Chain A
Amino acid sequence: MGALSVLERMRGLREDRGAPAGVRAPQAATDDADGPFALSVRNLRTVYELGHATVQAVREVSFDLRPTERLGVVGESGSGKSALALSILGLIEPPGRVGGGEVLLNGRNIVGLSERQLSSIRGREIALILQDPMSALDPVKTIGAQLHEAIAVHNPQLRRSALRRRAAELLREVDIPQAERRLDDYPHQYSGGMRQRVAIAMAIANNPSVLIADEPTTALDVTTQAQVLGLLDRLVDEHRAAVILITHNLGIVSEFCDSVSVMYAGRLVESSSCEHIFLGATHPYSEALLRCVPNPERLAEGPLPAIPGFPPDLSALPGGCTFAPRCSVGRELAVCHEQTPVPELVEGPSGSAIVECHFARERAARGSR
């Protein structure tokens, strides 16, 4: 639903201003008819300057997130998903830096804020859940001490007893049994799933309006994955947070998310509702990604197809469409290798999408699958 509103706005903008097809995204609007966005990212650019080369990890990415919307960001390793998450939080470390763009969090641009200002926002308005619960907790501090810290950073007035009460409440909220007693345990005494719950508890401790989960279940086994996702689902509902879920698991996206953006070489190449992607992905890359998901019904078609080739070197991107060298449609077409596709709004059988592909319209019209 959220992505659709973006589309509607883009459409409106084009009609209003008669903007050329090259328009990237609406400029610095923070709300529309349905109310303010929780998060608006505008032309965000992140580069790593490595001396001999400049790696473009995030290239002019724009998207909007409404309150309580759940956006899935999918893509291969090295497509810039994590860099996008860290850029939004202002956590890019040298030699990387945010090279431009805006991140409007509840209407306020947080790009370029001082470290002190960012610290007061992180955890309170926007929080991050890291991929690996094994290393996301400090091994020499008790779980309780770490929860205390997460709370106290933004509530310095709280006394120790109040902190402890609140920490125990948080542990109960994430379904850790015997919460009071387990506060005094160290991370190594928790299982992987429990640690990820603690990480989630720390992230929601201050009721952030936006939660970024960077592959929160990748390090867990399948049953634990389901439990943690179920928990996240419930908590996000209860706390009315918007979520950006970064993952390479399309199954999780289909279960958890309202909308989805497919990331390739630092760009969002297709953004739409979940229905659109799963029923008729328009971009050849999205389509290829979906084909790579094992499906019992298609067992007879032979081995699982793989996308040929490798993701491009982000420090030496090919001209034209970055996916062209691997694309089943455009591999041999001059236009794909020579012209950079612009984001285009297309209508598919199951909704609209913003797609960066020279053949977006015709592919959307026929419904790709």
Chain B
Amino acid sequence: MSSGLLTFAPPDGAIREVPPLGDGSRVRRALAAVLGDRRLAVPTLVLVAIVLFAIIAPLAWGVGPDTQNLLASLKAPSLAHPMGTDQLGRDIFARVAEGARISLLDGTLIAVIGAVIGGVIGLLAGTTAGASDAVLMRVMDAILAFPPLILAMAVTVGLGVGLKTAAIGATLVLIPWYARLVRSEAIRIRSLPFIEAAHAIGASRRRIIARHVVPHVMPTLAIQIAAGFAYAVLLLAGLSFLGLGAQIPTPEWGAMITDGLTYSLTGQWWVSVFPGVALLVTVTAASMLSDRLRDVLDPRSSGLRS
């Protein structure tokens, strides 16, 4: 609760003017709400740090991700190379930073595009009962019937191995998640009295969906986008790890882990471990964020105070 919400009578008996909720900076209130909640603030700050890292490190660091120096191959972490170097003498710190850029961008794109496509499908299914609902949802069920990694692999291989096709595969995996979620929310919201009231004032079906159903779906969708982002980053890294996603010399985290596996056996652990840690931190932060968002945004879970 922000302090502006309640009116207290000060000792002199005068009632303080309370600004209406609509006033004041929304951004500031949102910021205060996020930072005031430790379980929301920590994953948010970690993700912000990774984003800054991905933006600043490549600019500030003198060595590029693809600069080879065979004289300095497989060097352990030092001041010159904080994360060491790989077999071609490339600086792993620069490569992890470049990998962060790839993972964040692609993860976000996959999560958002999946949410838009899945969201539209879910809205259509949830607001038009009957045949179209049944057809759309059976298609979604069919996609869900495949194990996610197998499906993504099949799509990637089918379309030609590469980061782009891996991203398409990951998007396809995510679409039914969103569609099912949005559909069930749309059905729940559609039966609420204010929707009937909107019908009664003569609002058209399309208007009701755009103005009343969509805003109510957004919080749930936001939670799912955060979760979808974590999953997409992991899936992309997994595909690259298997050699189906990013190809050499792209510094994608999954591909870098594969790259370094051989050397891990001979003691040069840093080649694989640092991209692995980056992946772990990113995915964990995103899932923590989505979990906490669910507690805060979902009116049905009473987890706000816990």
Closest Cβ of chain B to A184, distance in Å, is 4
Interface residues of A in 111-167 (CB under 8 A from B): 115-116, 119-124, 127-128, 130, 132, 135-142, 149-150, 153-154
Whether A181 sits at the interface, judged by CB under 8 Å, is: yes
Complex-state Cα separation, A124 to B202, whole angstroms: 7
Complex-state Cα separation, A94 to B187, whole angstroms: 13
Whether B10 sits at the interface, judged by CB under 8 Å, is: no
Complex-state Cα separation, A130 to B207, whole angstroms: 20
| Residues of chain A contacted by B212 (CB below 8 angstroms) | 138, 141
| Residue of B20, B22, B199, B205 most packed against chain A (CB within 10 A) | B199
Q: Which candidate, A199-207, A238-246, A329-337, is the interface stretch facing chain B? A: A199-207
With A116-B204, A119-B204, A127-B201 as known contacts, state yes or no: A140 contacts B215, CB within 8 Å: yes
How many residue pairs between the two chains, A and B, have CB atoms under 8 Å in the bound complex? Answer: 83
**B201 partner, pick from A94, A135, A149, beta carbons under 8 A:** A149
CB 8 Å contact bits of A87-123 with B (1 = contact, 0 = none): 0010100100000000000000000000110011111
Interface residues of B in 192-211 (CB under 8 A from A): 192-194, 196-205, 207, 211
Cβ contact within 8 Å between B129 and A122 = no
Whether B21 sits at the interface, judged by CB under 8 Å, is: yes
Smallest Cβ-Cβ distance to A184: which chain B residue: B22
Complex-state Cα separation, A352 to B283, whole angstroms: 78
Smallest Cβ-Cβ distance to A181: which chain B residue: B20
Whether A77 sits at the interface, judged by CB under 8 Å, is: no
CB 8 Å contact bits of B168-197 with A (1 = contact, 0 = none): 000000000000000000000000111011
With A115-B205, A140-B216 as known contacts, state yes or no: A122 contacts B21, CB within 8 Å: no
With A132-B193, A138-B212 as known contacts, state yes or no: A149 contacts B198, CB within 8 Å: yes
Cβ contact within 8 Å between B22 and A185 = yes
Closest Cβ of chain B to A86, distance in Å, is 8
Smallest Cβ-Cβ distance to B197: which chain A residue: A136
Complex-state Cα separation, A199 to B198, whole angstroms: 11
Whether A189 sits at the interface, judged by CB under 8 Å, is: yes
Whether A186 sits at the interface, judged by CB under 8 Å, is: yes
| Residues of chain A contacted by B193 (CB below 8 angstroms) | 130, 132, 135-136
Cβ contact within 8 Å between A141 and B22 = no
Where chain B touches its partner, the secondary structure class is helix
Smallest Cβ-Cβ distance to B189: which chain A residue: A138
Cβ contact within 8 Å between A91 and B199 = yes
Closest Cβ of chain B to A259, distance in Å, is 23
Cβ contact within 8 Å between B22 and A123 = no
Cβ contact within 8 Å between A122 and B196 = no
Cβ contact within 8 Å between A135 and B194 = yes
Cβ contact within 8 Å between B200 and A137 = no
Size category of the B interface is 20 to 34
Interface residues of B in 212-266 (CB under 8 A from A): 212, 215-216
**B194 partner, pick from A94, A136, A206, beta carbons under 8 A:** A136
| Residue of A115, A122, A154, A185 most packed against chain B (CB within 10 A) | A122
| Residues of chain A contacted by B129 (CB below 8 angstroms) | 94
Cβ contact within 8 Å between A122 and B197 = no
Closest Cβ of chain A to B4, distance in Å, is 13
Cβ contact within 8 Å between A203 and B201 = yes
Size category of the A interface is 35 or more
CB 8 Å contact bits of A202-221 with B (1 = contact, 0 = none): 11011000000000000000
Cβ contact within 8 Å between A137 and B202 = no
| Residues of chain B contacted by A122 (CB below 8 angstroms) | 199-202
| Residues of chain B contacted by A94 (CB below 8 angstroms) | 129
Closest Cβ of chain A to B295, distance in Å, is 19
CB 8 Å contact bits of A165-196 with B (1 = contact, 0 = none): 00000000000000001001110010000000
Cβ contact within 8 Å between B211 and A149 = yes
Complex-state Cα separation, A124 to B193, whole angstroms: 20
Cβ contact within 8 Å between B201 and A130 = no
| Residues of chain A contacted by B211 (CB below 8 angstroms) | 141, 149
Interface residues of A in 247-277 (CB under 8 A from B): none
| Residues of chain B contacted by A153 (CB below 8 angstroms) | 201-204, 207
Cβ contact within 8 Å between A120 and B202 = yes
Cβ contact within 8 Å between A185 and B20 = yes
Closest Cβ of chain B to A221, distance in Å, is 20
| Residues of chain A contacted by B197 (CB below 8 angstroms) | 128, 130, 136-137, 199, 202
Closest Cβ of chain B to A101, distance in Å, is 20
Complex-state Cα separation, A120 to B198, whole angstroms: 12
Cβ contact within 8 Å between B194 and A123 = no
Closest Cβ of chain A to B238, distance in Å, is 38
Interface residues of B in 95-123 (CB under 8 A from A): none
A-B contact pairs, 17 of them (CB 8 A): A89-B200, A91-B199, A94-B129, A115-B204, A123-B202, A130-B197, A135-B192, A138-B194, A140-B215, A141-B212, A142-B22, A149-B211, A184-B23, A185-B20, A185-B22, A189-B20, A203-B200
Query: Residues on A close to B: CB < 8 A?
Result: 89, 91, 94, 115-116, 119-124, 127-128, 130, 132, 135-142, 149-150, 153-154, 181, 184-186, 189, 199, 202-203, 205-206
CB-based closest 6 A-B pairs: A123-B202, A128-B200, A123-B201, A184-B22, A122-B202, A135-B193
